[in-house]
């Protein structure tokens, strides 16, 4: 585990620890902190930041003493912490030990599971299910014939509706390697339902999938930003170069597509290293804290840069956080053509603070800005060339702008999100505010043609 997950507890966490000690000493309902008269507008001489916790301590004592049934003190404290975090923004959270362990496993990229990537879905009749969005190659799910698009409707005999949220369902599926779990899979296209037993295994998925398309063009699909993602991406480029030179004898690698669709992010350091593979100088990402104060800047280094390799980056509504940092940096440096949909818009920085019982506070501390000082939060990255998801049932000429993730509200649609504010600074315009693109109006084909021409002009001027 990286040391950055264990910073020194801030004053809020220390206050909570202090409160726990006070409760253990038996703070009573009638207890109160002494106060003295003070001038109007000035805090009392005996003011303490912990004084406001007296209300909470009293409420807890009342519930413990008078509630009709015995209560679990720990669960009450956890519920209070969850409520406190919910008053801030959607990405500031309290995670009890079990969920904190799940987060650590995701960050490390290795865990005991069955090799499915799922999202929560809902049928027309309201029944919930887990839609399979990806299957890890050679995983238990892959070997059992689970495919993208299949639906998990039961886990160990329990309907998905029995689980409070997606995290609870994932915790149920994961477990000790070598143990078994049964899942009921629905194939919506064929109308088939089957229950399979999967043996959990250590899932250590490659961060990058390599696919050579021919004619010197390859695709590197980046699943997430875990440790060594940048190294795996560099290895993927080397593998594509080898494939382009061997077999058909096509020669040099002509271009690479980096697929960041449905990549929800991960480690910031890896995002910076990936941009640094393709940019030889300048800022990669800025983080700004309260009132827009610059807290940190990451800069590119010249060594080992793939300066001349043509790049295209695919993003969609599910591309978030670290994916948006990579796409935004390559776009601002005119180093890649960004293709797809407007990204999710998750541009906030969360710092994790571990508590003594294994639980975790994940608190928003700053916001991300692209090299051109564009705010990502609730704005997202607008592609150079917009291409919406296309329904295969109706052909490529129809519904070109259908939402790729209709079940996923974007950051700007999420209640309580941090609204974009630039602290009275002038932000550079987004790419979609081009005069020529606006003039093309609703003619989607003309808009796409104008977008391509604008990108080609930018790349030529940069080169």
Q: Pinpoint the residues of the chain covered by CATH 3.90.226.10.
A: 208-428
Judge whether 221 and 215 are in contact, CB under 8 Å.
Answer: no
Report whether pLDDT(415) > 50. yes
User: With 50 as the cut, is the pLDDT of residue 43 above it?
Assistant: yes
Rounded mean pLDDT, 187-207: 91
pLDDT tens digits, 207-256 = 999 999 888 889 999 998 988 999 999 999 999 999 988 855 568 898 89
321 assigned to active site? yes
Tokens 């362990």 sit on residue = 101
pLDDT at 184 over 50: yes
Quickly state the pLDDT bin for 21 (edges 50, 70, 90): very low
Helix (H) or strand (E) holding 263: none
Mean pLDDT value across residues 54-68? 92
Q: Which CATH class is domain 111-203?
A: mainly beta
Residue 370 pLDDT class (50, 70, 90 cuts):
very high
CA distance 96 to 359: 4
Q: Looking up tokens 């290293």, which residue turns up? A: 273
Confidence of residue 449 (pLDDT cuts 50, 70, 90): low
CATH architecture of the domain 208-428 equals: Alpha-Beta Complex (3.90)
Question: What is the band of 27 on the pLDDT scale with cuts at 50, 70, 90?
Answer: very low
Is residue 345 a contact partner of residue 370, using CB atoms and an 8 Å limit? Answer: no
Is 332 an annotated catalytic residue? yes
Tell me if 117 sits within 8 A of 134, measured CB to CB: yes
Catalytic position from the list 262, 346, 348, 410: 346
The one catalytic residue among 89, 276, 332, 384: 332
* Chain length of the chain: 463
Is 70 exceeded by the pLDDT of residue 387? yes
Residue 340, SS3 per DSSP: strand
Instruction: Place 52 in a pLDDT band, splitting at 50, 70 and 90.
Output: confident
The one catalytic residue in 139, 141, 229, 321 is 321
């Amino acid at each position: 585990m990286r040391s950055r997950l264990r910073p020194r507890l801030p004053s809020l966490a220390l206050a909570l620890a202090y409160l726990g000690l006070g409760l253990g000493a038996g703070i009573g309902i009638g207890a109160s902190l002494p106060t003295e008269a003070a001038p109007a507008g000035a805090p009392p001489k005996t003011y303490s930041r912990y004084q406001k916790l007296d209300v909470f301590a009293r409420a807890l004592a009342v519930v413990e003493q008078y509630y009709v049934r015995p209560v679990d003190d720990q669960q009450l404290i956890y519920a209070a912490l969850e409520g406190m975090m919910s008053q801030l923004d959607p990405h500031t959270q309290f995670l009890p030990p079990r969920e904190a362990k799940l987060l650590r496993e995701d960050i490390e990229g290795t865990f005991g599971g069955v090799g499915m990537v799922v999202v929560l879905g809902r049928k027309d009749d309201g029944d919930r299910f887990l839609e399979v969005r990806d299957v890890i190659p050679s995983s238990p799910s892959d070997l059992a014939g689970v495919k993208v698009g299949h639906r998990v409707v039961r886990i160990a005999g329990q309907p998905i509706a029995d689980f409070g949220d997606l995290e609870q369902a994932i915790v149920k599926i994961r477990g000790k390697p070598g143990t078994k779990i049964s899942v009921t899979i629905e194939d919506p296209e064929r109308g088939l339902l089957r229950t399979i037993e999967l043996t959990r295994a250590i899932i250590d998925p490659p961060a990058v999938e390599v696919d050579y398309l021919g004619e010197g063009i390859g695709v590197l699909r980046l699943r997430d930003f875990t440790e060594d993602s940048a190294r795996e991406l560099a290895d993927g480029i080397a593998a594509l170069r080898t494939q382009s030179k061997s077999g058909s004898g096509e020669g040099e690698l002509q271009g690479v597509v980096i697929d960041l669709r449905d990549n929800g992010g991960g480690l910031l350091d890896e995002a910076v290293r990936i941009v640094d593979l393709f940019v030889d100088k300048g800022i990669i990402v800025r983080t700004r804290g309260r009132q827009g104060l610059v807290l940190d800047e990451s800069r590119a280094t010249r060594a080992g840069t793939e300066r001349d390799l043509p790049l295209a980056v695919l993003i969609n509504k599910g591309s978030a956080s670290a994916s948006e940092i990579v796409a935004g940096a390559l776009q601002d440096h005119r180093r890649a053509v960004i293709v797809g949909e407007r990204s999710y818009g998750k541009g906030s920085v969360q710092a994790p603070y571990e508590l003594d019982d294994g639980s975790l506070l994940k608190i928003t501390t700053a916001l991300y800005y692209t090299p051109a000082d564009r705010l990502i939060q609730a704005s997202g990255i607008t592609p150079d060339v917009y291409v919406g998801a296309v329904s295969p049932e109706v052909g490529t000429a129809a519904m070109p702008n259908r939402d790729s993730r209709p079940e996923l509200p974007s950051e700007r649609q999420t209640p309580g999100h941090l609204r974009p504010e630039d602290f009275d600074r002038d932000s550079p315009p987004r790419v979609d505010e081009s005069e020529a693109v606006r003039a093309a109006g609703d003619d989607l084909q003309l808009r796409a043609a104008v977008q391509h021409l604008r990108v080609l002009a930018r790349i030529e001027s940069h080169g």
